[in-house]
Structure 1
Amino acid sequence: MSDQPTPMMAQFLAIREANPGALLFYRMGDFYEMFFEDAIAAAAALDIALTKRGTHLGEPIPMCGVPVHAAESYLLTLIRKGFRVAIAEQMEDPAEAKKRGSKSVVARDVVRLVTPGTLTEESLLEARRHNFLASFAQVRDDAALAWVDISTGQFRVTTCPLSRLGPELARHAPRELLVAEGTRLEELAADTGTALTELPGGSFDSTAAIRRLSSLFGVESLDGFGSFSRAELSAMGAIADYLELTQKGKLPLIRPPVREAAGGAMQIDAATRRNLELTQALSGGREGSLLAAIDRTVTAAGARLLDRRISAPSRDLDEIHERHAAVAHLAGDPRLTAQLRDALSRAPDMDRALSRLALDRGGPRDLAAIRAGLTQAASIAAMLGDDDIRILAQAAKDLTGHDELIDLLDEALVAEPPLLTRDGGFTASDYDPDLDETRRLRDEGRGVIASMQAEYISETGVTSLKIKHNNVLGYFIETTTTHAERMLAAPLNERFIHRQTTANQIRFTTVELSELETRILNARDRALEIEREIFARLVRAVLDRAGPVGQAARALAEIDLQAAFADLANGEGWTRPEVDASRAFQIDGGRHPVVERALKRKGEAFVANDCDLTAGDTPAIWLLTGPNMAGKSTFLRQNALIAILAQAGAFVPATRAHIGLVSQLFSRVGAADDLARGRSTFMVEMVETAAILNQADDHALVILDEIGRGTATWDGLSIAWAVMEHLHATNRCRALFATHYHEMTSLSARLDGVENATVAVREWEGEVIFLHEVRKGAADRSYGVQVARLAGLPASVVERAKEILHTLESGEREARPQMLLDDLPLFRAAPPPPMAAAAPPASAAEARLREINPDSLTPREALDLLYQLKELQG
């Protein structure tokens, strides 16, 4: 047996070697097959059967496969499990390979490398979330981050020192991050759930980047896009190089890059995003997050825009005011808002349809999506009319001017086209004369087949006779074995030519059926060929207007978001916030949008609370005390979320809100360890607190909950006290500081701008009633024992805890355990601690030894002394 691989296996191995690090989907007819290690890994990941095919080096070759028609679902599973997949297609008709000889192999090549950041298929993407591919580059002391969504064309870049990379990755949540070989970012990528891909250093060459980007956008120079640093060019160039590699020359429709100013958005770090559950709940998934609670958009593009706005609230006052004006205008006209939302709900996702068409992965339905989207755009523009609100006026302008393209697509496409081009039937009648003529021949051929079948039944007397078609035999006459005897006998056997016998059927043909088949098949193939040509022309027409179509898509998303905010404001009773450049932070009747939504579902009301952190030249800090379960954490979070909503352009859940621009938002809430890095709960708390103290400026908003709880009481109190002083003296920011250390309330008398506040409770017949009201003042106790009882601790434990608490609160806060043993009834029965035994009296020998000075003894005297001691010992 030869150890040389077969020609087909040799081809597989060669293609596999040229695409390292990826599973190879090797097209064989109607299946993508995998072999060797690829098959073993894929079979385990996909839970499919692992088989064998031939041998290599004396060992069976592992093999598995997936059907081509169902490949997308398998791709999605593999991508989610961290694999990259190279798709090798047949580049020629197998019949052509046969002409070259029996040992010739069908030409195959990789047409696409599927990775987490380069998905475009509708079934592989989340409609309401972006799918970002990011790139981080460092050039000497400069660094930058670029990100692109090839499914929508959005392309952006910003300066980004390594210290800011974590927060930026948390903000964009890219599916894949490109870095130069040797860049150690595995831990950071794992924290944000990002797949890390290393590229050769040449991919990040800033000089080559200019050439790559100019080619990508078809320009001579990048000057028209703005000025970029070398690091920014390097990051963008790496993305362009990676797209060339993965898309194999079929580059996506990418919009010109936009440079984001570093201070253009509210700075929110990864821990704060996680603690506040902005776009994802702590339990995982979207439900329970701020995004889920406020999302009333009716388009996928609008939902993605909402995600971006919540993830990066603006710091541009003019932009914020314009967005609030648009929401106020629509909220003041509920009828118009309802009409807009109804029309928007019928607008497909044009951005992603455009991307698929540009990558040659689109179909007739993507053309229909462009047609439907532009048709709705024209209708929405008419509804808005000559609106004087700038955002809405600009959007209305971008929605118009597409009549020629709409007419073309309307004339060319049927109302409900099929998904795939190869299915045909998507071109409307009377659009192309050649196609109509070919279709008539094809359709009349079907009628002739039906007539011929009736004629053959009459001639043979076989009522079960059918004329059928398959890809192997073409058209054939089929009847049962019993009835076929007549056709096999003279004189019918001269007319009906036997072709095939199966278990229960016999198949025939005739000369006229074969001739008709040729005419019909030619007509069918010609009709498909004409439709493919029409599809290509329509795609070119759409792509020629890709810029204006993309602008219309973005305009629809903007209108959808403003209308959704207006609907939310009217439906929930939210109010327009006042946002300015001051350091004000005054919220009247503030509410937590997520908690309020959950309570409404239960038929319960949310207790609104005020918050005033308005600061002039001094810090403004509220020290919040009160029992667990009273609502301290909810109060902290709701004020942070109100600031985010206001600067994202939304109305807010409050009766009044005056917010001075928040530059940074920091949150240290909740307790969690990080065992993978060897960090305890307390260490995680200290790391996050250190990040706040080292970064917060005087326009920041900081919320801290229970600093110092993870260590000994006095250690924790000391740390919390020092943190408070640092926030006041150094950061000088606006802050909410919740604590159980009641000793800290004395700081309000020492530090200007620090006020005490507490969450009120009431005791009634031994029960604790949580009022959820935040009032000025300090809590007199924590009610921890009562909360423990509510949690279900055994009654005996609760009563015992009350006794111990009473002793401690009676002035014995520093009592030693022995004092508690003496004072508390249960401990009186405890055995006393062991006492040291009394020392026995010294012996005569020991007494004699104490009298001796060894240094003064002669050898003779030392010998005599030994005899004396021996006698004394007895």
Structure 2
Amino acid sequence: MMAQFLEIKKGYPDALLFYRMGDFYELFFDDAVAASAALDIALTKRGKHLGEDIPMCGVPVHSAEGYLLTLIRKGFRVAVCEQMEDPAEAKKRGSKSVVKRDVVRLVTPGTLTEESLLDARRHNFLAAYNEVRDDAALAWVDISTGAFRVMPCTRTRLSPELARLAPRELVLCDDLSAMLGELVTESGASGTDLGRAAFDSSGAEKRLLELFKIGSLDAFGTFSRAEIGAMGAIVEYLDITQKGKLPLLRPPVRELAHGTMQIDAATRRNLELTHSLSGGRDGSLLSVIDRTVTAGGGRLLERRLSSPSCDLQEIHARLDTVAFFKDALRLTEGARAALRNVPDIDRALSRLGLERGGPRDLAALRNGIEAAAEIATMLSDQDMPDILSKAASALVGHEALSHLLDEALVAEPPLLARDGGFIAPGYDADLDEARQLRDEGRGVIAGMQAQYAEHTGISSLKIKHNNVLGYFIETTATHAQKMLGAQLSEHYIHRQTTANAVRFTTVALSDMETKILNAGNRSLEIEKRLYSALVAQILGQAAEIAATARALAELDVAAGFAALARSENWTAPKVDSSRVFDVQAGRHPVVEAALIRSGEPFIANDCDLSDGDRSANIWLLTGPNMAGKSTFLRQNALIALLAQSGSYVPAKSAHIGIVSQLFSRVGASDDLARGRSTFMVEMVETAAILNQADDRALVILDEIGRGTATYDGLSIAWATLEHLHDANQCRALFATHYHEMTQLAAKLDGVENATIAVKEWEGEVVFLHEVRKGAADRSYGVQVAKLAGLPDSVIARANVVLEALEKGEREGTGQKAVIDDLPLFAATPAPARTPPSGPSDVELALADIQPDSLRPIEALNLLYQLKEKLGGK
């Protein structure tokens, strides 16, 4: 056995070998040491090798999926080695023969299909990148749904595309792996090397033609050599990991390089599109806008949000679907109610195709196509946009399969086919007979006994059973003469004579005995045969079922967007090819949702970055911290992103000219693992923006230059803003605390000042969260520090220093001279403002007033009295 283990392990040196032994997967040697530590399970030993104990650990087969998920998440790959024959067969070759075993699957992050190992609302992409001279391409596939796509992709664009797709695994040619290793690590993907032969376009084309059983790839479109090589490498890798059982892949779809809004990894992180900065889904844009009710719809929504379209026709078509459902309230509610009954059709179909499915996957497809037919009936007489009409037409055509599955399956089948009991009674006569014999054997025998008693006329005749004869007919010696007579002897066969009785059998009784004894196994075999037949029927219609799943997802997303727009009072954006960016009363969806939960209102704000006489395409935003600058910046970026995703937007109105790229430099963070300070990270991200942004980009920058000395930071921020205006010529929101930069608005035609309004009251600062034209007069940093809870003595001292610095600046005495004049420790700290010892006369008078009992003339007189108490001011 150990020799067999070591021989199989040779083929998978980089994977943990799950070696099947009965009801356990066992691991040995270094695999056992690594797995026991990763899974926190006991490490034992079994036998010796080269004089040393063999480390061993194991996991039960029935719960192996959970252990697999843990190992995959910790960066391991697992080779699953199964028993390829029954142990009884091995014994026929000799008592010490080893059961044949072989690896049936290599489990890697990008090739998971099990329901328990995947997030139902997220894709699990496996990607491959290929370069052929000056051409390059990225292909990706989700084997759990069959989605297969490819696009031209330069090395420069590879990083934002990986950020968009977030693949779990990236396959690279081994000569590219070293050069792109850091980029792969940054993307969060697990890197896998393949030989150059796997990416060869000639061999790749043959693999693709064989997979899709076609004569030419022209049937799917025109692909470059780099694209064919990338797709072929994926197919080769799937063949290696799935041991020849290739998944049900849809025909490849070619995406345009500039068909979607380019959003780099830093911008996605800063805007918290699908994950919050803490890493979870809660607090992200996706978590707030997701109203989908199906797993397929959830995955499509995430894909739309991660890849906003730049195709006007596509954007308008999607917005039309939202408008249709928003106006048809009753239809929307009915469709969404039916969609809630739709299981994950795509992944059930994929598991069946890979022979990893079970009866519940059959039931999922049955329920899914039944729900699809119900929704199709609802939509049958509606005048719908083209997208919805096409989706509705894809929901029908499965009547025969639906009827077959409905007749064949019980309502709630078991998880595994080997458990049996999933075929409905009445579907197969042989199965019903086997089940009856298995469950009602005694009743069947009693029926035969009554039949034989009537046939022979011997009422005392009995059918009995023992371990030697099995079932037999027993009668007394007196009656036996009758059964031994010429008339009955041909039918009743003599078996045994005892002192008190004679025993007989019949051909029918012997056959029935065999059937009863084998009924349990026979019923399972029949069910497995029927299961295989049903799977074959489904796989024969796999393409049509997959189309239905896509249609249901499309309907779910459109209806979800409509429900969102109705409940949150969102509006339809106007999207065109201009450079307009005009948002009236815009809101930040995530912040607004948080404020609603706490019972506070969100202050909406306008933003107009359109070219023309009324406004500039760059706003320079000043104002104190905590006033809402970052929220204002982010909300406008999110509004553009939502509009191009096909959603309504949180605003009174929005006119968005297509945004080709979205860049965000908001917030601060170190990258200590790569030796980068906060300022260095900021400069790297800013450099990426200035080098890539085109005239249709939307850029939001917050506090550029704050991580270094004041004049260095000011000069960098100043030069950055000039470059955005002169070279990039893009639309931008630029927030800063360098008030000196407000002078640029007078020098640059495309720059306009804006500020977040605040109000001071008795030394306190009140944030109004309103964006107004003009520049802030100060930063209110000391007031914000006070709100943060700094000690009163620190706040008082800060006010003294601030006043001295401002005085020195006004009088021109220079900052250094002012600092020199300030004592290191104040002899007597400036007294902190003490609150009044008690309520004022005005407050006391107000406390005694009962508004409900006042007449108008009394109220007016009270106002005069209160004014007098204030000293007539």
Q: TM-score range by the shorter chain?
A: 0.7 to 0.9
Alignment correspondent of 2:674: 677
Q: Name the residue aligned to 1:288.
A: 283
Report the CA distance between 1:821 and its aligned residue.
Answer: 3.4
Show the counterpart of 2:225.
230
1:215 aligns with 2:214: no
Give 2:184's aligned amino acid.
A
Determine which of 280, 300, 305 is the counterpart of 1:310.
Answer: 305
Please state how far the C-alpha of 1:102 moved relative to its aligned partner.
Answer: 2.4
Q: Deviations over 1:553-594 (max 9, x none)?
A: 000000000000000000000000000000000000100000
Change over 3 Å in CA distance of 1:66–1:606 after alignment to 2: same
Matched letter for residue 574 of structure 2: E
Alignment counterpart, residue 442 of structure 1, candidates 402, 421, 438: 438
Q: 3-state DSSP class of the match of 1:550?
A: helix
Is the CA contact (8 Å cut-off) linking 1:43 and 1:49 kept in structure 2? yes
Residues 471-515 of structure 1 deviation map (CA, whole Å, 9 limit, x = unaligned): xxx99xxxxxxxxxxxxxxxxxx99xxxxxxxxxxxxxxxxx999
In 1: Cα distance, 2:445 partner to 2:740 partner = 96
Task: Please give the alpha-carbon distance, in whole angstroms, between the structure 2 residues aligned to 1:421 and 1:26.
Answer: 23
Q: What is the alpha-carbon distance in structure 2 between the residues aligned to residue 266 and residue 162 of structure 1?
A: 17
Rounded to whole Å, the distance in 1 between the matches of 2:77 and 2:354 is: 19
**Counterpart selection for 1:415 from 411, 415, 421:** 411
Of the structure 1 ranges 13-22 and 434-443, higher mean CA displacement relative to structure 2 is found in 434-443
From 623, 644, 648, give the equivalent of 2:645: 648
Preserved CA contact (<8 Å) 2:804 2:818: no
- Per mean C-alpha deviation after superposition, the further-off stretch among 157-166 and 35-44 is 157-166
Asked if the contact 2:805–2:818 (Cα under 8 Å) also holds between the matched residues in 1, the reply is no
| 1:584-623 mapped onto 2 (5 Å cutoff) | 584-615=580-611, 620-623=617-620
CA-CA distance at 1:765 after TM superposition: 1.3
Query: Which stretch has the larger CA shift, 592-601 or 387-396?
Result: 387-396
Q: Distance in 1 between matches of 2:797 and 2:826?
A: 11
Are the equivalent residues in 1 in contact too, given 2:169–2:192 (CA < 8 A)? yes
Residue 768 of structure 2 aligns with which residue?
771
Q: 253-262 vs 189-198, which deviates more?
A: 189-198
Aligned to 2:358: 363
Checking the alignment, whether the CA contact within 8 Å between 1:264 and 1:316 is kept in structure 2 is yes
2:751 corresponds to 1:758 = no
Of 420, 427, 435, 1:424 maps to 420
Assess if the C-alpha contact under 8 Å between 1:27 and 1:33 holds in 2. Answer: yes
Structure 2 distance, partners of 1:554, 1:750, is: 53
For residues 124 and 37 of structure 1, the distance between their equivalents in structure 2, rounded to whole angstroms, comes to: 25
Aligned residue for 1:251? 246
- 1:409 is paired with a residue of what secondary structure? helix
Q: 2:122 aligns with which of 102, 120, 129?
A: 129
Q: How many angstroms apart in 2 are the aligned matches of 1:561 and 1:634?
A: 27
Q: Could you report, residue by residue, the CA deviation over 1:161-207 in whole angstroms, capped at 9, with x for unpaired residues?
A: 11111111110000000011132222212212111111112111111
1:816-855 equivalences under 5 Å are 816-817=815-816, 819-824=818-823, 826=825
Deviation at 1:827, TM superposition (A): 5.8
Please say if 1:331 is aligned against 2:322: no
Looking at structure 2, the residues matched to 31 and 162 of structure 1 have their Cα atoms a distance apart, in angstroms, of: 45
Deviation at 1:521, TM superposition (A): 3.7
Displacement after TM superposition at 1:221 (Å): 1.8
Assess if the C-alpha contact under 8 Å between 1:619 and 1:728 holds in 2. no
Matched, 1:580 2:576: yes
Q: Which amino acid counterpart does residue 712 of structure 1 have in structure 2?
A: A
- Does the 8 A contact of 2:260 with 2:309 survive in 1? yes
Alignment partner of 1:300 is 2:299: no
Taking the aligned partners of 2:19 and 2:636, their CA distance within structure 1 comes to 55
Distance 2:584 2:714 in 1: 31
Give the deviation of 1:20 after TM superposition: 2.1
CA contact (8 A) 2:438 2:520 kept: yes
Deviation at 1:249, TM superposition (A): 1.1
Between the aligned partners of 1:825 and 1:110, the Cα distance in structure 2 is 75
Q: How far apart, CA to CA, are the structure 2 residues paired with 1:516 and 1:719?
A: 93
Q: Which residue of 1 aligns with 2:489?
A: none
Letter of the 1:95 partner, please give it. A
Q: What displacement does 1:431 show? A: 1.2
The residue identity in structure 1 corresponding to 2:171 is L
Judge conservation of contact 1:758–1:777 (CA < 8 Å) in 2.
yes
Q: Which of 336, 342, 345 is equivalent to 1:341?
A: 336
Give the letter aligned to residue 779 of structure 2: S
Return the offset for 1:676. Answer: 1.2
User: 5+ unaligned residues in a row in structure 1: which ranges?
Assistant: 1-7, 452-473, 476-493, 496-512, 831-874
Question: Following the alignment from structure 1 to structure 2, what is the Cα–Cα distance between the partners of residues 787 and 527?
Answer: 76
> 1:796-837: CA deviations, max 9, x gaps?
11111111111111133874545423245836899xxxxxxx
CA-CA distance at 1:387 after TM superposition: 2.8
Instruction: Decide which of 516, 537, 541 is 1:541's aligned counterpart.
Output: 537
AA partner of residue 87 (structure 1)? V
**Aligned amino acid, residue 822 of structure 1:** D
Q: Secondary structure at the match of 1:337?
A: helix
- In 2, the alpha carbon distance for the partners of 1:80 and 1:604 equals 40
- Counterpart for residue 858 of structure 1: none
Query: Partners in 1 of 2:576 and 2:638 — Cα distance?
Result: 17
* Partner of residue 140, structure 1: 133
Matched, 1:786 2:779: no
- The 1:801/1:403 distance shift into structure 2, 3 A limit, reads same
Q: Is the Cα–Cα contact under 8 Å of residues 19 and 25 in structure 2 kept in the other structure? A: yes
Taking structure 1 as reference, are residues 802 and 300 closer, same or farther at Cα in structure 2, changes over 3 Å only? Answer: same
User: Do the aligned partners of 1:445 and 1:516 also contact (CA within 8 Å) in 2?
Assistant: no
Query: Which stretch shows the higher mean deviation, 123-132 or 179-188?
Result: 179-188
Are residue 36 (structure 1) and residue 29 (structure 2) matched?
Answer: yes
Pairing 1:47–2:40 present: yes
Q: Percent identity?
A: 70
Give the superposed CA RMSD: 2.2
1:826 aligned counterpart, secondary structure: coil
**3-state SS of paired residue (1:278):** coil
Contact 2:585/2:652 (<8 A) preserved: yes
Could you tell me which residue of structure 2 aligns to residue 105 of structure 1?
98
Q: Distance in 2 between matches of 1:12 and 1:391?
A: 55
Distance in structure 2 (CA, Å) of the matches to 1:271 and 1:814: 43
CA offset at residue 444 of structure 1? 1.4
Q: Secondary structure at the match of 1:419?
A: coil
Aligned residue number for residue 405 of structure 1:
401
SS in 2 for 1:770: strand
Shift of 1:450: 12
Evaluate the alpha carbon distance shift between residue 828 and residue 819 of structure 1 in structure 2; reply closer, same or farther with a 3 A threshold: farther
Q: Secondary structure at the match of 2:808?
A: coil
- Confirm or deny: 8 A CA contact 1:579 1:661 kept in the other structure: yes
Count of residues in Structure 1 that have an aligned counterpart in Structure 2: 767
Give the equivalent residue in structure 2 for 1:456: none
Separation in 2, partners of 1:446, 1:614: 87
Letter of the 1:277 counterpart: E
State the secondary structure of the residue aligned to 1:811. helix
Counterpart of 1:96?
89
Question: Which one-letter code corresponds to 2:692 in the other structure?
Answer: Q
Letter paired with 1:615: D
User: In the TM superposition, what is the alpha-carbon distance from 1:335 to its structure 2 partner?
Assistant: 1.1
Q: Distance in 2 between matches of 1:702 and 1:212?
A: 43
Q: Give, in angstroms, the shift of residue 98 of structure 1.
A: 1.2
Q: Give, in angstroms, the shift of residue 220 of structure 1.
A: 2.0
Partner residue of 1:353 out of 323, 348, 351 = 348
Deviation at 1:388, TM superposition (A): 2.9
Question: TM-score of the superposition, structure 2-length normalised?
Answer: 0.86
For residues 21 and 284 of structure 2, the distance between their equivalents in structure 1, rounded to whole angstroms, comes to 45
Describe how 1:735-750 pairs up with structure 2 within 5 A: 735-750=732-747
* C-alpha distance in 1 between matches for 2:648 and 2:445: 67
Question: Take 1:422 and 1:517, find their aligned partners in 2: how far apart are those partners?
Answer: 24
Between the aligned partners of 1:825 and 1:388, the Cα distance in structure 2 is: 76
Identify which of 357, 365, 384 aligns with 1:388: 384
Deviation at 1:69, TM superposition (A): 0.4
CA distance in 2, matches of 1:766, 1:392: 59
TM-score, with length taken from structure 1: 0.86
What secondary structure, in the 3-state scheme, does the structure 1 residue paired with 2:388 have?
A: helix
- Which AA in structure 1 matches 2:239? E
Q: Which amino acid aligns with 1:737?
A: F
Match of 1:734 in 2: 731
